[in-house]
Amino acid sequence: MKPVIIDLIAAQSGTGKTTVLEKLLPELTARGLKVAALKGEVRRYDLDVPGKDTWRFAEAGAAVTGMITPDKYIFIGSAPAEGINATASARLPDMDLVIIEGKRKSPFPKIEILRSAVNRQPLLPEGVIAIVTDLEELPLPRPLPLFRLDDPAGLARFIDERFFRSGKAAEPELTHLDKAGRPRMVDVSGKKSTHREAYAAGEITVAPQTLARIREGTMKKGDLLAVAQVAAIMAVKDTGRLIPMAHPLNISGVDVDFKLNEEESKIEIGVRVKLTGQTGVEMEALTGVSAAALTIYDMCKAIDKNMLIGNIRLLEKRGGRSGSYRRENEDG
């Protein structure tokens, strides 16, 4: 059986491909995968400098030269007609996965590394399946999984599930129930503190005249959206008290945005929550959206009792062992 081959690419050198791969390898091997890591398009290795045994073997006509130890080996050679991807596939049949640095033009899946200090625009050649970056915001022409540079565990999980456990993974467990079916708070004490982020959205549909008064700021109870914004922030901070199995968290940032959609006579609400910690902030973002919508309802109910709150959903999350998530078929 031929191994799965993935190319690790970047727009230029200095982006951190080697560091990403170095951190990714132990996460992949911990999942039981046998992984080969190769450098592509390299002119000279230290191993094959003139005078070294490997250089002498190659000069003497060996098609492939390298070294073997009881548990690892390398190979050095040239295959201009086939290219490194085909060579790796043919010569490493006992591997589950081969990751090759530097091949942008190949028919194999690619993971692109994007580092803000080096370049801020992705190449996105054909075959890119994910992006690893330190950029907080990255507008893309099509939805792609995003992973932070400091989240090798999430990237390893993505690779494992996409190529090796597709259709075979066990049913996800309800983590807030123990084996006896009793509710519990998940123990996160063993998890690493990493950057976590979540963005949730929702909406409240109101009468056109209600929306007009909100837009003009003529509600008797004052600046309605400012109050709803404060309500969202307060709810985010109080999620651990409001939602029984949610953890009390030291939130590092909350952003709330509103969009008045006059065509559909509704207010669209977005809440982004950030944290460096051991658990995610999806519930905090969702709770913030809910509180903002309820506050708008409370402040407008005297003039509009037909308001409708709905479509509250998670749009995006980053960080943690499960990696990044982006809801598909969403505008913006």
85, 42, 22, 57: CA torsion to nearest 10:
90
pLDDT-derived band at 93, boundaries 50, 70, 90: confident
CA distances (Å), origin 77, targets 55, 57, 83, 235, 247: 10, 11, 11, 61, 54
Does the structure show a pLDDT above 90 at 57? no
d(CA 146, CA 133): 7
d(CA 20, CA 99): 11
- One-letter-per-residue 3-state SS of 118-140: CCCCCCCCCCEEEEEECCCCCCC
d(CA 56, CA 78): 15
175 against 2, higher pLDDT = 2
Does the structure show a pLDDT above 60 at 118? yes
Does the structure show a pLDDT above 90 at 58? no
Q: Kindly list the strands in the beta sheet with 308-318, ordered across the sheet, starting from the edge strand earlier in the chain.
A: 253-261, 266-277, 194-205, 308-318, 325-326
d(CA 58, CA 52): 10
Residues involved in catalysis: 298
d(CA 228, CA 206): 15
Q: One-letter amino acid identity for 289?
A: V
d(CA 278, CA 75): 41
DSSP class of residue 106? S
Encoding tokens for residue 126? 């054909």
d(CA 249, CA 243): 12
Backbone angles phi, psi at 23, to 5 degrees: -80, -25
pLDDT-derived band at 170, boundaries 50, 70, 90: very low
Contact by Cβ (8 Å): 21, 99: yes
d(CA 98, CA 88): 7
pTM across the whole model: 0.52
Structural domains of the chain, with CATH? 4-163 (3.40.50.300), 194-326 (3.30.70.640)
Helices (H), the chain: 17-30, 53-59, 84-91, 152-163, 208-216, 224-237, 239-242, 282-300
Backbone angles phi, psi at 61, to 5 degrees: 115, 5
Contact by Cβ (8 Å): 313, 189: no
Encoding tokens for residue 290? 């809910």
Does the structure show a pLDDT above 60 at 172? no
pLDDT in tens, 235-284: 999 999 999 889 999 999 999 999 999 999 999 999 999 999 888 899 99
SS3 content of the chain, % helix, strand, coil (to 5): 25, 25, 45
User: What does the mean pLDDT of the chain come to?
Assistant: 82
d(CA 114, CA 18): 13
Largest CA distance in the chain: 91
Contact by Cβ (8 Å): 132, 113: yes
pLDDT-derived band at 90, boundaries 50, 70, 90: low
pLDDT in tens, 132-168: 998 877 778 778 888 988 899 999 999 998 898 754 4
Encoding tokens for residue 186? 């998940």
Contact by Cβ (8 Å): 152, 324: no
